[in-house]
Structures are given as structure tokens and as C-alpha cells.
Amino acid sequence: MNYDDVPLWAAILISASVLIGAALTFVGAVGLVRARSFYQRIHMPTLGTSFGAIGVLLASSILASMGEGRIIAHEVLIFIFVSVTTPVTLMLLARAALHRDRVEGSPEVPSALGKPSDQ
Amino acid sequence: MSRIFPYPLLTIALTLMWLLLQQSAGLGHILLGFAVAWSASQAMAKLQPHRPIIRRPGLVLKLFALVTVDIIRSNIAVSRIVLAGDRRETTAGFIKMPLELRDPAGLAVLSCIITATPGSAWLEYSPAESSVLIHVLDLIDDEEWVQTVKQRYEVLLLEIFR
């Protein structure tokens, strides 16, 4: 039950996981700002919700397990819920954007499926 | 049997979730978790959703491994695109992909895989045409992209859900 006595190898592993996860999430955030169209932007948060999240959650799990002296795996549940719910949000946002662009008659967006294509 | 346990997999998964949340596998927690999971599956049965049938459970693990590897690869690929910034021409585009998969659960899994993978997003599905509109961040060859997704995921999903 002591978080000060984490062995060196575990400390290195934990730090590496946090850094990799944080770096991926940061790159995703930069991409979100830099991407030019809405459809390119929806790809960017997935960096943070896939391996960005795994990095941070893995570190949390290892640190808590070391500190408590038994396996702590709440993080598995967090990861499952994040990876199941994020795609739903992204799909809804993308479909709203698609609908708006079609109503506006934007030439960059393909016509609705099931209707005759004009391309 | 099916009336008492309408969703056996759901019941097991919820019980496991309960135990993970409690961080304990004691008998009391197993019984309590099972009671909660059983009530939840009864409520689910009242809603009468489509009941997916998993024919080949072994393939689920194979699919999971495949998706993990692909997500690692696309994390690296998308990071490169972002870091390259304006020096690189963007090749983002839409693709229409015809699908043989029609099972609602299979389609739900496929849409989550495609959207959760950085660099591709599932936009809309048309049951009438049985095809889906996908946005790809780095689109080089439409036909090759469609074939890769069909061979890697759709074949497996067709065998798992049928």
C-alpha cells in the first residue's frame, strides 16, 4: 500500500506509457486544429481515444497495481466504454455535417446513397 | 432456458463488469453481480431487440487481434500526416463501399471498427443498396482500400454473424 516504493523498471514503464499516450492525444489535438475540412477533423480525436487512451490507462493500471499490491483493472472498463461510445458520437456528427452540406448543395460531398448519383 | 436466461452472453459480461468494478471475486460479489446482470437481461428481453447469434466465437479473438494491429498502424500513419502538416498534399476523399454483410450486429461492429481506426470514418449506410459511405483521410487507391477492408474484416464478420 505504498506508492513511493514503485521499482525503477515499473516507473520507467509507467512514464513511457503516459508519455506515449499523451503525445498521441496531443498530435490528435494539433490535427484537429490543422485539418482543413470537417470530414478530415473527425479522424483526429480517434488518436486520443484509441492508443492515446491505452497509454494513459495502462500507466494508471500499472501504478495502481504496484501501489495496492494487487491487480487493479478498472481501466479495462474505461477503455471498453470509450471505444464503444466515441464512434457513435463521431458518426452522428459526420452525418449531421453530411446532411448540412447536401442541403447547401456543396459539390465536394457525394450524393445520398440509394438515390441516383450525379457524378 | 431461453426464457430464464434470454441473453446468456450479456448476463456473463455484466457479471464480469460488476466484479471488475468491485475489484473482488468473492462469492457475495459474484451472487450480487449475477442478480444485477440477470435483472438487466430480463429488462433487455422486454425491449426485444434483434438477438445476434455468434457462430464462431474463436474468430472474435482473431478479429480483435487484427483490429488492434491495424489501429496501432493507423495511429502511426495519421500522426505522420498531422506532423507533416502543409508540406504534404492531402488526399482525403469519400468512398462508396458495397457490402455483403447484412446482419445488424455485424454492421454495428464493422462501423465501430472503421470509425475507431484513425484515418477512416463510417458516414452512412444504405440498407436498400447495401453499401456504405466512408471518408478516408489518406486515400490513394479506392479499389485497393475497399478490397483490404472486405478481406480483412468483412469475411471474418460474415463468418461470425450469419
How far from the centroid of its chain's Cα atoms is residue B18's Cα? 22
Give the residue numbers spanning the domain of B26: 8-47
Assigned domain for B1 exists: no
State the pLDDT at residue A114. 61
Sort out which chain A residues have CB atoms less than 8 A from B94's CB and list them. 39, 109-110
* B99 & B146 share domain: yes
Say whether B90 and A36 touch across the interface (CB within 8 A). Answer: yes
* B144 & B80 share domain: yes
Sort out which chain B residues have CB atoms less than 8 A from A118's CB and list them. none
State the pLDDT at residue A117. 46
* B81 & B33 share domain: no
Assigned domain for B68 exists: yes
3-state secondary structure chain B: CCCCCCCHHHHHHHHHHHHHHHCCCCHHHHHHHHHHHHHHHHHHHHHCCCCCCECCHHHHHHHHHHHHHHHHHHHHHHHHHHHHHHHCCCECEEEEEECCCCCHHHHHHHHHHHHHCCCEEEEEEECCCCEEEEEECECCCHHHHHHHHHHHHHHHHHHHEC
* B93 & B30 share domain: no
**CB contact at 8 A, B8 and B26:** no
The verdict on A55 touching B (C-beta cutoff 8 Å) is no
* B75 & B153 share domain: yes
The total of structural domains in chain B comes to 2
Assigned domain for B52 exists: no
* B40 & B78 share domain: no
pLDDT tens digit at each of 162 positions of chain B: 467 777 788 888 888 888 888 877 788 888 998 999 999 888 888 887 777 778 888 888 999 999 989 988 999 988 988 888 766 666 788 888 999 988 888 898 999 899 888 889 998 888 888 899 999 988 888 888 899 888 889 999 988 887
Assigned domain for B91 exists: yes
State the pLDDT at residue A57. 93
State the pLDDT at residue B45. 83
The verdict on A49 touching B (C-beta cutoff 8 Å) is yes
* B82 & B32 share domain: no
Residue A16: pLDDT band with limits 50, 70, 90: very high
Interface predicted TM-score (ipTM) over 0.85: no
State the pLDDT at residue B88. 64
CATH number, domain with residue B103: 3.30.70
Alpha-carbon gap, residue B19 to B14, rounded angstroms: 9
Closest chain B residue to A110 measured between Cα atoms?
A: B94
Assigned domain for B109 exists: yes
Say whether B117 and A109 touch across the interface (CB within 8 A). Answer: no
Residue with cell 464493422: B110
Alpha-carbon gap, residue B162 to B153, rounded angstroms: 14
User: Domain limits of chain A?
Assistant: 8-104
Element (H, E) at B93: strand B93-98
Element (H, E) at A42: none
pTM higher than 0.90, yes or no?
A: no
* B152 & B111 share domain: yes
* B99 & B142 share domain: yes
* B102 & B74 share domain: yes
